Structure 1
Amino acid sequence: MAAIPTTRTVVQELLSRIGAGDARRIAELYADGCDWRLDWPEEEHGRADTPWIRHRSTRADAAGHFRELAAHHVPEKADTSVERILVEGEDAVVLGVIRQTAAPTGRAYTARFALHLTVRDGLVVRHHVYEDSLAVARAFAPDASRTLES
């Protein structure tokens, strides 16, 4: 019987797979029934210009998220810096900065993020993202002056 990987091991593997960009392989690390949340105003979820911004729950949803995210950004202009991974039991928090360019508008943005993950039996069962949603929304807005309202 194989040992169940630690939370840190799963998180590090997840980050490696995200960096490689293979949505199917990334999704293999998520449990069906995953509690997936993004800290965006509900009325902004599923917009045509940011379709990946919505709640998810299945492994197929996770793959879809990473496919949609990749399709709406310029890959050669992307960079993510992970500053710290904090682990306590099943929970991990990844802190860092993303630098992306919105493919539809060509506008670059930088956003700090915190990713709260919970790993159980070697799979991610919670994926909560807290990021600078205003920076992302401005980069994707058809009208550069559009902003999210508080």
Structure 2
Amino acid sequence: MSERTQTEQTRALVAAFFQEMAATSGDPVAYLADTVHWDIPGATGIVPWIGRRSGKAEAAEFFARFGDYLEPDRFEVHRIVADGPHAVAIGELRSRVRATGRVIESPFAFDLTVHDGLITRYVMFEDSWRVAEATRP
């Protein structure tokens, strides 16, 4: 497979993954490898839904419990840049923390890697200070 073809496939898979995340009945977990490296860095002692997870089962738990913590309002991916198996997605989000009623607004970037048609690396970067402040009682 040519590098251009791989880049196009990576970009298409990442776009489909984010469409599944945005869909109420979507299944984004289907896009993850069993051994996915998952991380959302931040204040894990304050923000219960972030942090490292090992493998698809733990990542699935994130999606299953996400709605317990947050009420999503907006999640927009503005750009996906791909290079071979690597992709970066850039956008912005807005959510309300259920426990505090506070709103999180933050730009984000995802660092993703795709192998054999599945996401093997998922690292999200956001304004972790703002997330922690909105979550803090």
Q: TM-score range by the shorter chain?
A: 0.7 to 0.9
Aligned-pair distance for 1:22? Answer: 4.5
Q: Mapping of 1:9-48 within 5 angstroms? A: 9-22=12-25, 25-40=27-42, 44-45=43-44, 47=45
1:13-56 CA distances to partner (integer Å, 9 max, x unpaired)? 10011001447x2111111111112232xxx32x3x52211211
Partner of 1:148 in structure 2? none
What is the identity percentage for the equivalent residue pairs of Structure 1 and Structure 2? 34
Contact 1:51 1:68 in 2 (8 A): no
Where structure 1 has 5 or more consecutive residues not aligned to the other structure, the ranges are 143-150
TM-score, scaled to structure 1: 0.80
TM-score, scaled to structure 2: 0.87
**Structure that is richer in strand per residue:** 2
Aligned residues: 131
Aligned-residue CA RMSD in angstroms? 1.8
Where structure 2 has 5 or more consecutive residues not aligned to the other structure, the ranges are 1-5
**After TM superposition, which residue ranges in structure 1, 4 or more long, deviate above 2 angstroms?**
none
Contact 1:118 1:126 in 2 (8 A): yes
Partner of 2:3 in structure 1? none
- C-alpha distance in 2, partners of 1:61/1:22? 19
